[in-house]
Structures are given as structure tokens and as C-alpha cells.
Structure 1
Amino acid sequence: MKTINILLVLLMTFSFVANAHGDKNKDKGLFKGIDTPAAKVVLAFHQALETGNKELARAQLADDVTIYEGGRVERSADEYAHHHMLADMKYLAAVKTKTLEHQVTILGNAAISASRSHTKGTYKGKDRDYQGMETIILEKQNEEWKIKHIHWSH
């Protein structure tokens, strides 16, 4: 948990520094580190959710992942896989999401993935059009990157 707290402080510092200079460099550096092995795990997770591949999505998660979304917390990969994952897959199948920016920073055996996206479409009869943010913390476990924490908001 101490490692995650340190990563969160670093992420907040990184976010402040990245945004402290206004829009003069707004298009520079919006996509960084997305070719790293840690980023590939995040991208595989997104692709699995978008295509309804439950097994592939679950394989990207650490067993003890925590997922924060909409005021709720899921405290394990199995809890997410058996509860909210299928709803996420149905939602993502109904809307279009475009990544606006994505940065991945590796810090030893930990990595931070921070992204912003735009989602638009109709789900259950309601129009959706919003920008969302995602923070994912990954941990290298047995030489493989696993998603340890996800925070989704919009």
C-alpha cells in the first residue's frame, strides 16, 4: 500500500506539472510510453472489454485489484469479473470511445497509466457524451505486468 501511496503522490505531481503551463503545449506529449510492456497490458485490457473477451480482460488484472468507479469499489479481479465487468462490456459495445491522451510512466516494478477519453453514443435509451479519465496502477508480478488499481471517472 505504501508503494501505491507514493505512486499517487507522484501522479498528482506529474499531473500538476503537465497542466501548469496552460495550453501553449497542449498537443505535445499527449501520448507517451504507450509502446511499453505495461501500456500494452492496459491496451489489451481495454480491447478485451470493448470486444467482450472476459478471459483476456480478467488475465490483465492482479488478483487483488481494486477498482473505483461511480462511488463503488470492487476489491478483487474475481469480484469485478463476476459483477460489473459484463455491464462494462455491454456499455462499451454500445458507445464509441476515443482516447484523447494517454501517458504511461514506469517506476521500477510499478507503472502509472493516465488517460483521458471522449465517449459518445446511446445506452439504454440515454444519450451519452462526456470526457472520462482513467488512472491505472500496474505492478510487475513474476515478470508480468498486472493491473493493481483502476480509477474511472467522468
Structure 2
Amino acid sequence: MSRLALFVFALFASFFLAFAAPVSSNNTSTTLEKRVDHFGRGTWFEVGLGNCGQWSVDSDHIVAIAKSRYDANNGGNCGQWVQITDQKNGHVKYGLTLDSCQSCGSGDLDMSPSLFKLFEPLSVGVLNIKWNFMPKGWSP
């Protein structure tokens, strides 16, 4: 009988632990955002007044996302950082979303000259990149 009682106890304990909610040390739950990788072309442009309503200069590390992506989110990605990886060499840099790009495909990014130069000289013109949005409020 004791083996049966032990088995039943272990079964209920396993079931209970499987559905237990995670607890953090400050009594708040943590929501993880799923990272979605985008693949496309990285190009550069001379910046100015961006579609997000802020002025930038070429030395700022900013990006313009595809106009279709900007419109789909109603500009909701303005002020959000992106992590950009050069597919050729794996170098990773960050840019702040402050504009949209009419000629960009959905996976493309247009970068300020100073950001593009962190990867390659401007004369290269186009990079193969992978990129993703960082969580809102994140900053490098």
C-alpha cells in the first residue's frame, strides 16, 4: 500500500509542478518578446527629418524600416532599437528606428552613413543583413 500511496503522491506532485507559474523575486511576472529575425539588404541614406518626426544627422546611428512595415505598425516602431548583423562577417551593430524607407523591401534597412560605415565603407553600397527589433525601452 505504501508504494501505491508514494506513486499517487509523486503523480500529483509532477502534475502540480508542470502547471506551476514562474515566480520572480519581486513578485512580478516577466513577459518575453519573441525575437523575429528579418533578412534583407542594408543600404545607406543621408538623413534629415525622419517619418517619426525627429531630425537626425548623418553621424547618428539610425535606421529607416520599410514603409510597408512602418505603416503596418502605424509608426509603432519609432524609437525602437534594432540589432543588425552583417551576414558576411557576423559583425553586430545597433541602430535606432527613426524613419521609413519607401524603396525598401520588408526585410531591408536603410542606415545612416555613420552606422553603415561601422560595417563597410559607403562605396560598398549594399550589405546582406539579418536584423531584429530589440524590446521596447531597450538601449545599447
TM-score, length basis structure 1: 0.24
Q: Compare relative contact order (CA 8 Å, sep 6+) and give the higher one, 1 or 2.
A: 2
TM-score, length basis structure 2: 0.25
Larger Rg: 2
Structure showing the higher helix proportion among its residues:
1
